[in-house]
Structures are given as structure tokens and as C-alpha cells.
Amino acid sequence: MIVATHDGQLRLVTQNDHAHFAAELLSLWRNDGLPDHPRRPEILFATREHDNGWWEADSAPRVDLTTGRPHDFLTMPQEIRQEIWLRGTARNREEHPYATLLILHHALFLHRDHLHHHDSGDDPVHAELLQTLRQRHSELLEELSLDPDDVASDYAYIDLTDLLSLVVCNRWLEPRERRGVHAAFDGQTLHLDPFPLAGTTTFRLPYREIPNRAYTSDTDLTLELVRARWREARVRVAPMTRRLPRH
């Protein structure tokens, strides 16, 4: 779950809807050789499915009792995060092995800051997760006889559009830059430079809003979500009119 504050309310976007927005954006991508890429269908599939392990968790959101806010993708307890990533990197293994390899690459990239600590023993749950992810990644890489550099190059598309979607879903208003693409979101329009689409395009992003208050239990949160209406934010993606200064 992605939790952002907007107009005094909590705006909730599921990880699945976040990933679908990233995939919709990438499906219209015209730069970087993607339209003619031989593995484009699997790259798009991996983008859409890169957070599929969160389906179950987002269907039954939990409350962080230390803050009273719904748990998001950063605050979820480590034991549940382990289940999420183990499930999400196995669900499509048989039908889409290459997409699964890209999702594993994503999982390892997200946990990169912990990789050199995996043998420390300070966090055995996290160490077990990393060991399993790396083993699955190595096995698929060998099975598919792929060059690791090609996988890393393909993953760049997912990494970039994942960030762009997070900018919108989290309503991050400060400028961002990744892999040579500058992005700025003003609350309604995502401005990009260089612009990768054929023209300005409007996307729809599902969300729910609930009162910004302290929730006392998972049941309290669930009852509020039952009352909340599903809505759609209209998100324009347009060229940036001026290059933002580098930070």
C-alpha cells in the first residue's frame, strides 16, 4: 500500500495499481529502443507484475500501531515483507521465467543496501530472504543462459517507470532525476525531460481516501475502507517546459 496525505485526507493506492500505472506508461514509451526491443512483452509484463506479491497484503491492510497509520510498503513488518517478496518472485515462474528474473532483479535492487550485511546475523529474517532471492536469481540466469548485463539493461526500464509511478502515487512534488530522465510532478501533471511518449497523455489512477486520523486496529481501518469510495485521479504526462537545475 502507498499512503500519501492529500487535502487533509489519507490517499491510498495499492501496489498493484501503482505497478499497472508504471506498465501503462512504459507501454507508450518511444525512447531508448523499447518499441523494437525483442523482449519488450516480457519487460512490460514484469513492470505490471513487479509488486504482485503485495496483492494479499493490500487486500487486508494493517495498522502500524506505533503511528496509527496504515502500514505502507516501507513500514510493513519484516516477516510479512519476506512473505510478500518470496510470493511475488515465484508467482509467474513457470509461464514467464524472464519476467520473473526481472522481478527478482528488482527485489535485489530494492534490498541492495543490505546485501553486504547479509552474513552479519543481525537480522536473520532479512538474511534468509536475501539468500533465497539471490539463489532464485542465479538459477534463472543460468537456466535462461542470459548475460547479466542484458538483464540489468532491461531492468532499467522497470526501475525508471517504477520511480515515475511512485512520484505520482506518493505525490512527491520535489524534482527527481534517474537514468538521465528529469521528472517533476505538480499534483496533476508529471513533466518529463526528455519526453518519451508520442504526445501528452492522460492516465487514470485508482485510489481511495480515508480520514487522516489514528486507527486503533486493523478492524478499525477495514471498516473505514469499506465506507470509502473508489475514485480515479487523472494524471497528465507532458513534456517539461524547462530543464530543472541539477542537484
The string of DSSP codes covering 6-69 is ETTEEEEE-HHHHHHHHHHHHHT--STTGGG-TTHHHHHHHHHHTTGGGHHHHHS--EETTTTE
pTM, entire model: 0.92
Residue 83 bridge partners (DSSP): none
User: Which of these, 94, 82, 244, lies nearest to 173 by C-alpha position?
Assistant: 244
Amino acid 153: pLDDT: 97
Q: What mean pLDDT comes out for the span 207-214?
A: 98
Residue 120, pLDDT > 50, answer no
Choose the weakest-confidence range: 1-5, 74-78, 169-173.
74-78
Amino acid 118: pLDDT: 39
Amino acid 111: pLDDT: 85
Amino acid 112: pLDDT: 75
3-state secondary structure of 187: coil
Amino acid 113: pLDDT: 62
The residue that leads in pLDDT, 52 or 120, is 52
Q: Tell me: cis bond preceding 35? Omega within 30 of 0 counts.
A: no
How many helices (H) and strands (E) in the chain?
8, 9
pLDDT tens digits, 11-29: 999 999 999 999 999 999 9
Residue with cell 486496529: 217
Amino acid 119: pLDDT: 45
Distances (CA, A) of 97 to 31, 61, 84, 127, 229: 25, 29, 18, 24, 37
Domain boundaries, the chain: 2-59+75-239
pLDDT tens digits, 64-86: 999 999 999 889 998 999 999 99
